[in-house]
Chain A
Amino acid sequence: MKKLAFLILIFLLPDVHAGEVRVAVAANFLATLKALAPEYEAQSGHKLIISGASSGKLYAHILNGAPYDVLLSADKFYPEKLVEVDKAVANSRFTYAVGRLVLWSRDKQPIDRARLSDPDIKRIAIANTRTAPYGTAAQHVLQKIGLWSTLKDKLVRGESIGQTFQFVASGNAQLGFIALSQVLNPKNHFNRTSYWLVPQDHYPLLEQEAVLLTYGKNNPNARNFLEFLKSDVVRDAIRQYGYL
């Protein structure tokens, strides 16, 4: 009898641990979320299932029925859109991080906006301006300082901000507009010290919004995870990763 009870218990166990939250996360926040995940999992006992891509791609996936509980977008636009089509819960939106755009190069010499006009610069990487909010921000900056049309032919587009970083880190582009969080990522072994922090008034605020998706509406762990993101300790940690 004892053996049988034990067996039954084993079969029941997976259900006891079934608590999980499926998070779709914008590429710029992927590394930060992965760093925060162990803390959340230890605190709540729930597992985070993380899927990272550019916000636009995640948006398309969610429209097509991808089973995610929560979206951590790189902007406000996609969460808003998802609420409009009933794929997300209206009053669950909030800003979990404000992103900061930097101009970055792999070599460690000091860098400022003047480098953009350096004739030695052959390629400048920016994220896709249609699907990655950091790409749109970079376009704003170049238009604001009047270099968009002159530099247009030098621009190479990464599919997400993650790939944009790759273009620069691999030396295929000499400069790139990426997220400060990527530069500060401890796994960035190239150059974490010199970059041009683009002034905040050069581009619209990169308010990154989290939203509860309709798929996760009945998952209490999803709401619990969103509360975790709002906690002071986590907000401080997020700031240390390069967000406002």
Chain B
Amino acid sequence: MDLLSPVVLTLKLAAVTTLILLLISTPLAWWLAHSKSKWAAIVETLVALPLVLPPTVLGFYLLIVLGANGVIGGPWADLTGSALTFTFSGLVIASVIYSLPFVVQPLQNSFVAVGRKPLEVALLLRASRLDAFFSVILPLSMRGYITAAVLGFTHTMGEFGVVLMVGGSIPGETQVLSIAIYEHVEVLDYGAAHVLSAGLLIFTFIVLLMVYVINRRFPTNAH
């Protein structure tokens, strides 16, 4: 049971994060793909930052922003009575920021490849914007969505540095897989560390393999 708790927690965190990311990344990626605004480059840069920033930088600022006196953590604490740091909700916010580029970029690429034309044709045929998106753009961007979802999910699963700083390693709440493995190694429990590490390795391999197999069956979005 002790071994299972971080696994369940990590899957839950990755699932919630991926869902939120797909929702907010769709309009964001669409805008980035088609906007001619001079702000687009700045937003694109902001989105890409977590790719190259050390997780400790992100963790440090999240600790401040999400803490009881922080810009987000303060109002949250007034509402709920506790800060966002060292809670599951805090981890979700951190993970959404941390994994944002892994979801936005594949979506943006596939939206660029699809282009504006299919949407314009659908609109000419009097489809509503929403209908046009769901019946035309979404199916054409399926490869992008699958890649985005899987990258967002697996990247969140592997998160370490940010969680180490804002998570606090509380079993069942913030002690995700990578932290649990780290702790097992610290107390020389190599058996448990092996079980969790090998499990994560095999799981990630299988998921990625499935994506590449499925992706080969979808048409490339260049057509």
Contact = CB atoms under 8 A, between A and B. Distances in A.
A27 B67 contact: no
Contacts of A27: 186
B185 A64 contact: no
B187 A51 contact: no
Interface string A150-189: 0000000000101101100100000000000010010111
Given A65-B68, A67-B170, A52 B85 contact: no
A66 interface: yes
Contact of B186 (A22, A30, A61, A64): A30
B191 to A, nearest CB: 8
A49 B171 CA distance: 6
B187 A166 contact: no
A162 B86 CA distance: 22
A64 B170 CA distance: 14
Contacts of A189: 188
Interface string B36-77: 000000000000000000000000000100011000000000
B82 interface: yes
Query: Chain B: interface residue count, which band?
Result: 20 to 34
B91 to A, nearest CB: 13
A52 B86 contact: no
Given A51-B169, A66-B168, A185 B86 contact: no
Contacts of B67: 64-65
B172 A49 contact: yes
B68 A52 contact: no
B189 A187 contact: yes
B169 A22 contact: no
A186 B65 CA distance: 42
A52 B86 CA distance: 14
Interface in B183-223: 183, 185-190
A162 B186 contact: yes
B163 to A, nearest CB: 12
B83 A51 contact: no
24 contacts: A30-B186, A31-B187, A51-B169, A51-B170, A51-B175, A52-B169, A52-B183, A52-B186, A61-B86, A64-B68, A64-B85, A65-B86, A162-B185, A162-B186, A165-B186, A165-B188, A166-B185, A169-B188, A182-B188, A185-B188, A187-B188, A187-B189, A187-B190, A188-B188
